[in-house]
Amino acid sequence: MKKQTALLVLFLFYLSPMAIGQSDGNYDYTKEFTWGINKNTNGGLIGGAVMKFSRALNDQQFRTIGFEIINVKHPKELKRPSHTGGQFQYGKSNHLFALRGQYGRDFILFKKAPQSGVQINASITAGPTLGIVAPYYVVLGSTGKAEPYTDPSTIDQIQGSGSILDGLSSASILPGLNAKTSISFEMGAFKSNVTGFELGLLMEAYPKEVELMLDHDNRAVYFSAFITLFYGNRK
Asked which of 12-16, 19-23, 98-102, 135-139 is least confident by mean pLDDT, the reply is: 19-23
Residue 118 has pLDDT above 70, yes or no: yes
Q: What is the pLDDT of residues 48-107, one digit of tens each?
A: 999 999 999 998 999 999 999 999 999 888 888 887 888 999 999 999 999 999 999 999
- The residues facing 116 across adjacent strands are 113
Prediction pTM value: 0.83
- The residues facing 210 across adjacent strands are 219
Question: Which of 20, 71, 32 is CA-nearest to residue 49?
Answer: 71
Rounded to whole angstroms, the Cα distance separating 139 from 160 reads: 5
Rounded to whole angstroms, the Cα distance separating 92 from 199 reads: 29
**For the chain, percent helix, then strand, then coil, each to nearest 5?**
15, 60, 30
Angle CA(124)–CA(127)–CA(128) in degrees, nearest 5? 160
What's the whole-number average pLDDT of the chain? 86
Quick check: 138 and 151 in contact, CB under 8 A? no
Rounded to whole angstroms, the Cα distance separating 93 from 215 reads: 9
Question: Which of 134, 45, 46, 43 is CA-nearest to residue 92?
Answer: 134
Percent residues over pLDDT 90 in the chain: 59
